[in-house]
Amino acid sequence: QVQLVESGGGLVQAGGSLRLSCAASGRTFDNAGMGWFRQAPGKEREFVASISWNGESTEYADAVKGRFTVSRDNVKNRVDLQMNSLEPEDTAIYYCARSISMYAATHGSAFGSWGQGTQVTVSS
């Protein structure tokens, strides 16, 4: 079983930046794709970004393209999400997830392990 722990959330003004981190332990990290999802109050969980096992392939939701960047460090067993130009619509709980495949998947069903989430709040 893999454990995923997110950090880096907080309160930021619109236009600001945050960097989320996800630390993984318990299972081999570098043979799986990783992803970030978010869930806003009253809304369903949605895909944000993902990265393949070797970091060479990434996917982004249209809403965050050009503003968010996903990266990973297989030595440190960590995946990060750099979020720039934040908007109030980005307010949500952000979850890190480990894919059951090696690739940059985009659907929640492709992910087998999830973190507890970290709150991101963007004020206008």
Q: What is the pLDDT of residue 119?
A: 98
Q: Decide: helix, strand or coil at residue 90.
A: helix
Q: What is the pLDDT of residue 57?
A: 98
Q: What is the pLDDT of residue 29?
A: 79
Q: What gap in Å lies between CA 8 and CA 119, rounded to an integer?
A: 9
Each residue's pLDDT expressed in tens, for the chain with a length of 124 residues: 789 999 999 999 999 999 999 999 887 778 999 999 999 999 999 999 999 999 999 999 999 999 999 999 999 999 999 999 999 999 999 999 999 999 999 999 999 999 999 999 999 9
Q: What is the pLDDT of residue 9?
A: 97
> How wide is the angle at C-alpha 112 spanned by C-alphas 74 and 27, nearest 5°?
40
Q: What is the pLDDT of residue 37?
A: 98
Q: What is the pLDDT of residue 14?
A: 98
Q: What is the pLDDT of residue 8?
A: 98
Q: What is the pLDDT of residue 38?
A: 98
Q: What is the pLDDT of residue 102?
A: 95
H or E element at residue 50: strand 46-51
